[in-house]
Every structure is written in structure tokens, then in C-alpha cells.
Structure 1
Amino acid sequence: MEKKLNVVFWCVWVLGLVTVVLTVHAITCEEAVQTLMPCKAYLTTPAPSPTLACCQAVASVNASASTTQSRRDLCECFKKKAPVYGVDPQKAKQLPGLCAVQVPFPCDPSVDCQ
């Protein structure tokens, strides 16, 4: 009987540990902005296309926004931060497509993030 309880205890403990390890860290607004810095030249100048580093950053931020709430938060973040950095809204709209990244919301300053 005691062996069965030990096995059950260890199974529960391992499941708890796996759950903690698999908990996804939601990316913050500042982390997303810093990650996307390789895109600044494309988004704020006449640069004709994004760099590979930019596209990798877009894919990374997109993958980090794994919950509905984190996506909403990033949407609001980008709406607020884009004007501060002088982002061209047309280039922001084009960026996911140019990088072949499917994002869950349009990169448009008029989008409702909810």
C-alpha cells in the first residue's frame, strides 16, 4: 500500500513539475519592442524590404504571443508604440506578409484589439 502511495505521489509531483516547466512566459510590450528593433529601419525609412533578422524577430514575437490575452496586449502595445517610433502604417501592414508570418490580428493602427 505504501509503495502505491509513493508511486501516486511521484506521478502527481512529476505532472506538477511538467506543468510548471511548460507554462509559457507571456512576452511584455517592452520585450516585443526590443525584439522587433531589427525591423526599425524597414518600418521607419524608405528601405524596400525587411531584413532576415527583422523577419526572424517578427516570427519570434508572434510565437511568444500564444494566448488571446497576450495577443490583445501586444496589439495595444503596437498601436501605442508605433507612432512613438515613427512607424509607417503601410509598411507595418505589409511586414507579416513580407516575412511569411501569419499574425492573429492585422497590423493596422485602426484595428480593435479586443
Structure 2
Amino acid sequence: MSDTIFGKIVNGDIPTEFVYEDEHCVAINDIHPQAPVHVLVIPRKAIEKLSDAQDDDQALLGHLMLAAGKVARQLGVDDAFRLIVNNGGGAGQTVFHLHLHILAGSTLAESRMLG
């Protein structure tokens, strides 16, 4: 497993309250939220960034999208949320363990930022 902070969270080395979890991923609140709702969906499998995913990761990548929808429904924001994946440092990725950002809330309607 990855030695990043997300790898440690997924492994249970860093106790964290999960917003959602299943056999393939976990979801946690972002510690530096950029919107009223800011949740990270993190696969249990360590993939450094999206461009490192392989053909055999296709089902996992689809699962992450479905999990993001489940989390959004669970949080009551499924009618309007933004889903962001940063790929690489130049795109703003700071933890090199693939993860999806779910952002939602009143500020999104005012913001045209694509993250």
C-alpha cells in the first residue's frame, strides 16, 4: 500500500472517520475544504495519478465515479456537485494517491473555477 497520507488512512494507520466506505474505496471530508461540502473519494488501491491507471483499473475507475454519486446522494447534494481529479503537481495534485474531489454548496453557482 502507498506510504502517502491517503495510503495510511486507507490502511487504518491514521484513524479517520469515513463519510463512506466499501471494499474498493473510502470517502473522507477534506481537511482544507474549498466549498461547503468537500469530500475526497480515495481508492484502496494505490495509483499515483489518473494517468498511471492501467487497463485493468477500468472497473475501479468506474466504481469511483459511482461511489462519488452515492456520497453526493448521502450528503444531499446530488442535484449539483462538481467532481475534480487533479493529475500531477502542475494540475494541483498534492497527494500522489489518486483521489476524486466532490465539491458542492452555494459557492459553486458563483464560481467558474474548474479546479
TM-score (norm 2): 0.33
As a proportion of its length, which structure holds more strand?
Answer: 2
Q: Choose between structure 1 and 2 for higher RCO, CA contacts under 8 A separated by at least 6 residues.
A: 2
Q: Please tell me whether Structure 1 or Structure 2 has the larger radius of gyration of its CA atoms.
A: 1
As a proportion of its length, which structure holds more helix?
Answer: 1
TM-score (norm 1): 0.33
